Structure 1
Amino acid sequence: MRLHNGRVSRSRRDMWGEERDEPACRQVEEVMLSVDRADFCPRNSYQDFPQQIGYNATISAPHMHALALELLKNHLRDGNTALDIGSGSGYLTVCMALMVGRRGRVVGIDHIKELVDLSITNINKHHSDLFLDGRITMVTGDGRNGYRASAPYTAIHVGAAAPKLPDTLVNQLAPGGRMIIPVGEVFSDQHIVQVDKDLNGNVKVEELFGVLFVPLTDRKYQLGRLKFK
């Protein structure tokens, strides 16, 4: 199964059409199709491009969400604990929560309170059960520090680019866990980096492919950029 990259899609099903470039397993496809992006991105919901969601934040393109879930799928098993840093609209947090099952837990963290409030509203449209059974927790905080209260995590997804690999986040990764994070300076060479920690605590870091993400930064810098729009 492959997700197409760069095509305009008019419906959820169209996101999985015939012209496809990026790999995605059946589980990832089913999860993404079960979560309506229109609940989280009201304009151009099914276009395979990043979309603005306010406060200088974006929701990633569907093919990037598919790639992230594909890379993390073996670490998003029933009962696992996961962290979604830069949770934004809440879309990917919900997908991760569906993959970890009723016994799992996912924390979504964003430093913009208004986005956290928005994500809670979005999730409550059709996935309020994820709050009721404690599977999802949405918090306001600096994602660069992770979220120690629920660490360690079997899976960590970071939705913005760090200038270098943050040791704090690596330390919150559980033995046997995996983190997917964009690394690189703003508007410069950035790569998706896969960080694996084995059962003995040894860490392996691998650059996978080039990307362009907004920076993983503080609230003041992110909101300050609005003045220059």
Structure 2
Amino acid sequence: MAWACSSGSNRGLVANLARARIISDERVVSAMRAVDRAHFSPHSPYEDAPQPIGHGATISAPHMHGYALEHLREHLRPGMRALDVGSGSGYLTACMAAMVGARGRVVGVDHIPELVEGARAALEQHYPDWVRDQRVRFVVGDGRQGHAADAPYDCIHVGAASPEPPAALLAQLGAPGRMFVPVGTALQQVIVYDKDSSGNVTQQPVMDVAYIPLTDPDRQRSG
């Protein structure tokens, strides 16, 4: 797996990700330039490594966010609807919102209320237009169950590892639609699930990873 070097600025970080060929699509590059990671990550925002954000949670390494956006890019076009499970800091949710535009909708769901409030506050401070046009919404909930109220989604990103294929999330995926999710316990792989217009689902393993698990709030906080 290619890793990008650390940088002293958001623009430098994005340039490093592009140089390492982790991101190449212009819309992905533009979104990651538009959303400054420092607005969402209090510690070493431009280092290409996971960083703690409190409550037993982390913000994923920038290269993983880059991979996710690249794999989901065809389902993050203007006007589309997306779900970010385990939205945490809200950074990737915001990048997804940059890609779907003012007519699109992105829902970030997390089971830690303090993280949801922090993500909402960061968005209101730095991207207030996106709040006013309801492009982005953060909700408190069990991400393992998705967010059925706004389903179906053109794409779903899952930011923590599911021990098995997430049936509830697949049910909320549109037809067509795509989901990017780490699956497994001791050994984890990112799996891309594609649902065609007839509702048939196929899957493709993408890479080996090590994510925190999808779990209950108390277990996450104590972990």
Shift of 1:121: 1.1
Matched residue SS, 1:129: helix
Give the letter for the 2:9 counterpart: S
**TM-score, reference length from structure 2:** 0.95
- For residue 198 of structure 2, what is the aligned residue in structure 1? 200
Matched residue SS, 1:22: coil
Give the letter for the 1:8 counterpart: S
Pairing of 1:58-207 with structure 2 (within 5 A): 58-185=58-185, 188-207=186-205
Identical counterparts, % of pairs: 49
Partner Cα separation in structure 1 for residue 123 and residue 89 of structure 2: 9
Partner Cα separation in structure 2 for residue 205 and residue 155 of structure 1: 14
Unpaired runs of 5+ residues, structure 1, are none
Give the letter for the 2:24 counterpart: A
Tell me if the contact between 1:24 and 1:66 (Cα under 8 Å) persists in the aligned partners: no
Partner Cα separation in structure 1 for residue 190 and residue 41 of structure 2: 24
Partner Cα separation in structure 1 for residue 33 and residue 131 of structure 2: 20
Partner Cα separation in structure 2 for residue 141 and residue 209 of structure 1: 28
Q: Cα RMSD (Å) of the superposition? A: 1.5
Q: Give per-residue Cα distances to partners, 1:138-192, cap 9 Å, x unaligned.
A: 000000000000000001000000000111110000001000000010xx21000
- For residue 31 of structure 2, what is the aligned residue in structure 1? 31
Partner Cα separation in structure 2 for residue 104 and residue 8 of structure 1: 32
Partner Cα separation in structure 1 for residue 199 and residue 95 of structure 2: 27
- For residue 7 of structure 1, what is the aligned residue in structure 2? 5
Tell me if the contact between 2:173 and 2:195 (Cα under 8 Å) persists in the aligned partners: yes
Tell me if the contact between 2:41 and 2:59 (Cα under 8 Å) persists in the aligned partners: yes
Partner Cα separation in structure 1 for residue 26 and residue 46 of structure 2: 19
- For residue 47 of structure 1, what is the aligned residue in structure 2? 47
Aligned residues: 221
Shift of 1:133: 0.4
Partner Cα separation in structure 1 for residue 119 and residue 207 of structure 2: 29
Shift of 1:42: 2.1
Shift of 1:212: 0.7
Give the letter for the 1:202 counterpart: N
**TM-score, reference length from structure 1:** 0.93
Matched residue SS, 2:46: coil
Shift of 1:79: 1.0
Shift of 1:128: 1.3
